[in-house]
Amino acid sequence: MINLETPKKLRGFIKQANQVADNFLRANSRKYDLAEHEYPKELDLLASLIDGMGDSGQGQGAGAAGVRRSEDELEKDKIKNGTNMSSVLSVIEMCWGDVGLLLSMPRQGLGNSAIASVATDEQLERFKGTWAAMAITEPSFGSDSAAITTTAVKDGDAYVLNGEKIFVTSGDRADSVVVWATLDKSLGRAAIKSFVVPKSLPGIRVERLEHKLGIRASDTAVIVLDNCRVPAENLLGSPEIDTKQGFAGAMATFDNTRPLVAGMAVGCARAALEDTRELLEKAGVEIDYDRPAQTQSAAAATFLQLEADWEASLLLTLEAAWLADNRKPNSMEASMAKAKAGRVGNDITLRCVELASTLGYGETELLEKWSRDSKILDIFEGTQQIQQLIVARRLLELSSSQLK
Amino acid sequence: MANRKDPMGIGLAVLNRIASSPTIDKLGLRKAAERAVYQGAKSGFQVAGAANRTFKKRKGAGQPQRLAKTSAPGVFDLTPTEDQQMIVGVVEEFAAEVLRPGAEEAEKNNTTSKEVLQQTGEFGLTLLNIPESLGGLSEDRSAVTGVLVAEALSNGDMGQAVACLAPAAVATAISLWGSDAQQQTYLDAFTGDDAPVAALAVAEPRPLFDPLTLETKATKTANGWKLNGVKSAVVRGTEAELFVVSADIEGQGPGLLLIESSTAGVTIQDDPSMGLRAAGLTRLVLTDVEVPADALLGDGSTDDYRECIRLSRLAWAGLALGTARSVLDYTKEYVKTREAFGEPIAYRQSVAFMVANIAIELEGMRLVTLKAASRAEQGLDCSREVALARKLTAEYGMKIGTDGVQLLGGHGFVKEHPVERWYRDLRAIAVMEGAVLV
């Protein structure tokens, strides 16, 4: 039965997440925006709290690892609001607090999502408790993940990794990095595998940290792998090179992480909308949902448009998560959500600055910060253009050689 | 599946009507248009002369019958019920086999054929929101079903869809807000074999129209109300026998009144517009129209009227979804077969991305519309969600319409393809008020 309200069983949990976001993240937003690269120590306590909630079952499987698609729990004919839904809803709340700080949450890295998505049960157990960053991008490529030049060469019971990775979120603070590398460049996409590389191993080092437009609370690292020997059992998924399956295995991670990034944009944009609405109301602008927008002030009409776009991106995000929870293919919907939420998240936050004039532009409010933070959400985990490409190829049933 | 407690139990009732309809059997559906003509000829064109129908006034015994709220399931779910899937399946097929092929002709004639109207009558569309106790099909509100049906019909042709849904709007209004006496007086006619042509008239022809600030006035008289004003976007006004009209009611603000077409001072003017031509749009001119005190729908309250505005916008949003889907499906095929520079134009990102964006915006506006509808039927406040659904369907519906023509280039501009009609129809979403309801 069609119902798009927040699932009843998750409402209490979401309220909790909102309080956490308000007290731990929002409260420290400006502090770590100004103090780039300083470790947000408040998060250690929070991370323990979240681990505790997770272990006691109260966390509803939320967090980066909540995207795992387990086989056993789906009851026949029963619609499920599971861990994908709760993860995405908690990410929305946390990013309403602060995107940069959410990305810095110990043990909640994108690498953790990757492990949860593709690890075997044995690996999942072995990597439990690790804080895993994700390393895909290299200096020579961004969107074209198949162009990976980092190599992994089998040597006895280990793989030897060599290469340079950039834009590694939490690369400095995490204790391991999920590294994408190729076993054999000549075999193309199928030879690309991901490895969990503990930072304690010799041969992996953080080269430097980036200074950024936004999400400054989150460290973005350049990581160098120099003859780094990684135990063979740290390869995620199958070590076989299956040219038929191609890239699908590695790319499956994205079906799970893209709705999360869409959720980040939704949360960040909601923060801006709520703040702006309050400021507008103080300035005497009322938003009337029953009167046509064009009979209201330009500010109210703009706000209505932004709110409409926001609602669409929220529901696209929930749809992608709902599909995943119910074991339905969601590649296209995940990309739709990411495309819509990425672009409107950026548009909303920028327009909110505009609506609030110099008050919005200054650092006394957080509006200007959100408008900087939101930009990355239309870029990482697949840019706007990559999402459109994925949607278009699926819709039009075209291959990557037809629609380049 | 369907028992009395099942909120979608109405679905089976609808299906039963469809199954027992001589025009729709699974095998014969491809011939549905011809069969419809046969059926229409057999029963004769009974609408002639019906404009003089008078509705025999009946006294109410007490409380009006109201549809119950749908109970909240508590789970986020995008799956239509089995009943909804079946209803939509049949309506979709009807839209594809009858409405789509007949769209050009209906537009040329500025009307929807009697056969098509009769067929949708047999589906029971008018009865969806009439309580079972009054001869309808329903126990519960079913705004979601209403949106899904509007979407499915409009996927065939928006103009004919509006014509088919217009009488249901009046039946729904009486059922949701009418007094017991009004329900007894009018709903019988809608549940009988010869349902009246009826129209919900809200819009007025002027810039920046706001349905909450009306120039049509109902002033108090000794015996009731006197109405003056001009209403626009009145569907099939020339044939309509009964109107529900919005007016600024003296002493209480905007609200709804019932006016029978035989009342003195009622005149109808053709108002052909850029699209929706099959809906036979007219203006309803009210000149010193005197109606009795009990012509107020229910108590003519502004709260009911606000709800009416919201449910009407929701129906228009549903209609936008269907036509936008037509554009998506049509352009998808076109860009894959049309070649330029030695390859299908779909191979170009500038083309393919436009199609991708049509799909993305359509999915977004569809979800928001469904959320608004599900809130409406659960009895939750839906003013915000309806406003957002309207904003999205108006904005992106039109964008999809114009991109549809653009993707076909010059071929999109000529009538050889239906996209120019969809473009004209989709312009309606932002300007329409009233006419249809879910």
How many contacts, defined by CB atoms under 8 Å, are there between A and B? Answer: 172
Whether A138 is covered by a domain: the verdict is yes
* DSSP at B243: E
Query: Residue B137: how many CA atoms within 13 Å on its side-chain side?
Result: 28
Predicted confidence (pLDDT) per residue in A193-214, tens digit: 999 999 999 999 999 999 999 9
- Supply the pLDDT for residue A70: 60
Residues of A in contact with B386 (CB under 8 A): 289
- Identify the band that residue A246 occupies on the pLDDT scale cut at 50, 70 and 90: low
* DSSP at A2: -
Is B361 within 8 Å of A312 when comparing Cβ atoms? yes
Do B23 and B128 lie in one domain? The reply is: yes
On whether the CB atoms of residues A113 and A252 are closer than 8 A, the answer is no
Residue B300, helix vs strand vs coil = coil
Do B56 and B185 lie in one domain? The reply is: yes
Residue A300 has pLDDT above 80, yes or no: yes
A93, A138, A333, A381: the catalytic one is: A381
Residues of A in contact with B371 (CB under 8 A): 4-5, 311, 315
- Range A372-390 average pLDDT: 96
Distance CA A352, CA A361 (A): 10
Do A154 and A227 lie in one domain? The reply is: yes
Whether B26 is covered by a domain: the verdict is yes
Distance CA B270, CA A110 (A): 62
| CA distance to A30, A37, A44, A361, B369, per residue, from A26 (Å) | 8, 18, 16, 18, 32
Residue A231 has pLDDT above 90, yes or no: yes
What values do phi and psi take at B353, rounded to 5? -70, -35
Helix (H) or strand (E) holding A207: strand A204-209
On whether the CB atoms of residues B158 and B30 are closer than 8 A, the answer is no
Do A16 and A60 lie in one domain? The reply is: yes
- Supply the pLDDT for residue B2: 34
In the predicted model, what is the mean pLDDT of chain A?
A: 92
Do B247 and B351 lie in one domain? The reply is: no
Do A219 and A336 lie in one domain? The reply is: no
Residue in chain B closest to A386 (alpha carbons) equals: B353
Is A312 within 8 Å of B353 when comparing Cβ atoms? no
* DSSP at B144: H
Do A283 and A388 lie in one domain? The reply is: yes
Whether B54 is covered by a domain: the verdict is yes
- Range B385-399 average pLDDT: 98
Per the model's pLDDT, the better-predicted residue between A113 and B365 turns out to be: B365
B376 touches chain A (CB under 8 A): no
Helix (H) or strand (E) holding A182: strand A176-182
Q: For residue A63, which of A125, A29, A110, A133 has the smallest C-alpha distance?
A: A110
Lowest mean pLDDT among A337-351, B13-27, B318-332: B13-27
Whether A296 is covered by a domain: the verdict is yes
Q: The pTM is what?
A: 0.92
A209 touches chain B (CB under 8 A): no
Distance CA A349, CA B172 (A): 41
A243 touches chain B (CB under 8 A): no
Whether A1 is covered by a domain: the verdict is no
- Supply the pLDDT for residue A108: 85
Do A117 and A218 lie in one domain? The reply is: no
- Identify the band that residue B15 occupies on the pLDDT scale cut at 50, 70 and 90: low
Distance CA B431, CA B394 (A): 8
User: What is the percentage of chain A residues whose pLDDT exceeds 70?
Assistant: 93
Do A119 and A138 lie in one domain? The reply is: no
Helix (H) or strand (E) holding B38: helix B32-43
On whether the CB atoms of residues B341 and B350 are closer than 8 A, the answer is no
Is B7 within 8 Å of A1 when comparing Cβ atoms? yes
Please name the residue ranges forming H helices in A297-330: 298-325
- Identify the band that residue B285 occupies on the pLDDT scale cut at 50, 70 and 90: very high
Whether A243 is covered by a domain: the verdict is no
- Supply the pLDDT for residue A61: 56
Distance CA A70, CA A73 (A): 7
- Range A376-388 average pLDDT: 96
Structure token digits, residue B244: 């529900």
Distance CA B5, CA A347 (A): 46
CATH number of B250's domain: 2.40.110.10
Do B152 and B40 lie in one domain? The reply is: yes
Do A100 and A145 lie in one domain? The reply is: no
Domain that holds residue A105: 8-125
On whether the CB atoms of residues A380 and A167 are closer than 8 A, the answer is yes
End residue of a domain, out of A94, A125, A156: A125
In sequence order, the 6+-apart residues with CB closer than 8 A to the CB of A136 are A145, A148, A165, A180
Whether A3 is covered by a domain: the verdict is no
On whether the CB atoms of residues A385 and A143 are closer than 8 A, the answer is yes
On whether the CB atoms of residues B93 and B30 are closer than 8 A, the answer is no
- Range A69-83 average pLDDT: 73
CA angle A337, A338, A344 (to 5 degrees): 90
End residue of a domain, out of A81, A110, A125: A125
Residue B36 has pLDDT above 80, yes or no: no
- Kindly provide the b/e burial profile for residues B273-309, where b requires at least 16 CB atoms within 10 angstroms of the residue's own CB: eebbbbbbbbbbbbeebebeebbbbbebbeebbbbbb
Residue in chain B closest to A344 (alpha carbons) equals: B361
Residue B101 has pLDDT above 80, yes or no: yes
Per the model's pLDDT, the better-predicted residue between A74 and A402 turns out to be: A402
Helices H / strands E in chain A, number of each: 13, 8
Cross-chain CB nearest to B74 (options A7, A290, A391): A7
Query: Residues, chain B, total?
Result: 438
Per the model's pLDDT, the better-predicted residue between B265 and B7 turns out to be: B265
Do A223 and A331 lie in one domain? The reply is: no
- Supply the pLDDT for residue B119: 86
- Supply the pLDDT for residue B35: 40
- Identify the band that residue B52 occupies on the pLDDT scale cut at 50, 70 and 90: low
Q: Which residues pair with B197 in a beta bridge?
A: none
What does the H/E/C string look like for A144-169?
A: CHHHCCCEEEEECCEEEEEEEEEEEE
Domain count along chain A: 3
Tokens 């009416």 found at: B308
Residue A50, helix vs strand vs coil = helix
CATH number of A70's domain: 1.10.540
Domain that holds residue B183: 10-195
CA angle B44, B50, B55 (to 5 degrees): 135
Do A389 and A260 lie in one domain? The reply is: yes
Whether B436 is covered by a domain: the verdict is no
End residue of a domain, out of B257, B275, B295: B295
Q: For residue B402, which of B327, B319, B326, B318 has the smallest C-alpha distance?
A: B327
In the predicted model, what is the mean pLDDT of chain B?
A: 88
What values do phi and psi take at B214, rounded to 5? -100, 145
Do B264 and B290 lie in one domain? The reply is: yes
On whether the CB atoms of residues B205 and B232 are closer than 8 A, the answer is yes
Do B191 and B206 lie in one domain? The reply is: no
Do B398 and B278 lie in one domain? The reply is: no
Pairing of strands B339-340, B343-344: antiparallel
- Range B43-52 average pLDDT: 35
CB atoms near residue A64 (< 10 Å) = 24
Whether B40 is covered by a domain: the verdict is yes
Structure token digits, residue B149: 């049906």
- Supply the pLDDT for residue A55: 65
On whether the CB atoms of residues B362 and B426 are closer than 8 A, the answer is no
Q: Characterise B49 by phi-psi region: left (phi > 0), alpha (psi -120 to 50), beta (else).
A: left
Distance CA A136, CA A250 (A): 11
Whether A46 is covered by a domain: the verdict is yes
- Supply the pLDDT for residue A257: 87
Whether A74 is covered by a domain: the verdict is yes
Residue B53 has pLDDT above 80, yes or no: no
Predicted confidence (pLDDT) per residue in B56-90, tens digit: 888 777 788 888 888 888 999 999 998 899 889 98
* DSSP at B139: S
Please say if A233 is a catalytic residue: no
- Supply the pLDDT for residue B9: 43
Structure token digits, residue B303: 């709260």
Do A179 and A296 lie in one domain? The reply is: no
Lowest mean pLDDT among A323-337, B15-29, B242-256, B310-324: B15-29
Is A291 within 8 Å of B356 when comparing Cβ atoms? no
End residue of a domain, out of A92, A125, A158: A125
Whether B437 is covered by a domain: the verdict is no
Provide the shortest C-alpha distance from residue B360 to chain A (in Å).
Answer: 6
On whether the CB atoms of residues A392 and B353 are closer than 8 A, the answer is yes
- Identify the band that residue B40 occupies on the pLDDT scale cut at 50, 70 and 90: very low
- Supply the pLDDT for residue B4: 35
Whether A195 is covered by a domain: the verdict is yes
Helix (H) or strand (E) holding B246: strand B242-249
Predicted confidence (pLDDT) per residue in A262-276, tens digit: 999 999 999 999 999
Do B328 and B344 lie in one domain? The reply is: yes
The four Cα atoms B88, B92, B94, B95 give a dihedral, to 10 degrees, of: 130
Domain count along chain B: 3
B141 touches chain A (CB under 8 A): no
Residue in chain A closest to B390 (alpha carbons) equals: A308
Per the model's pLDDT, the better-predicted residue between A63 and A187 turns out to be: A187
Q: Is the dihedral of CA B408, B413, B419, B425 positive or negative?
A: positive
CB atoms near residue A12 (< 10 Å) = 11
Is A3 within 8 Å of B209 when comparing Cβ atoms? no
Is B309 within 8 Å of A389 when comparing Cβ atoms? no
Whether B229 is covered by a domain: the verdict is yes
- Identify the band that residue B16 occupies on the pLDDT scale cut at 50, 70 and 90: low
Whether B3 is covered by a domain: the verdict is no
On whether the CB atoms of residues B163 and B192 are closer than 8 A, the answer is no
CATH number of B364's domain: 1.20.140.10
Residue B217, helix vs strand vs coil = strand
What values do phi and psi take at A160, rounded to 5? -100, 120
Whether B321 is covered by a domain: the verdict is yes
Do A315 and A252 lie in one domain? The reply is: yes
- Identify the band that residue A241 occupies on the pLDDT scale cut at 50, 70 and 90: confident
Do B311 and B425 lie in one domain? The reply is: yes
Do A210 and A304 lie in one domain? The reply is: no
Distance CA A117, CA A257 (A): 9
Helix (H) or strand (E) holding A196: strand A192-198
In sequence order, the 6+-apart residues with CB closer than 8 A to the CB of A301 are A293, A294
Residue B253 has pLDDT above 50, yes or no: yes
Structure token digits, residue B85: 């899937």
CATH number of A167's domain: 2.40.110.10
Residue in chain B closest to A403 (alpha carbons) equals: B347
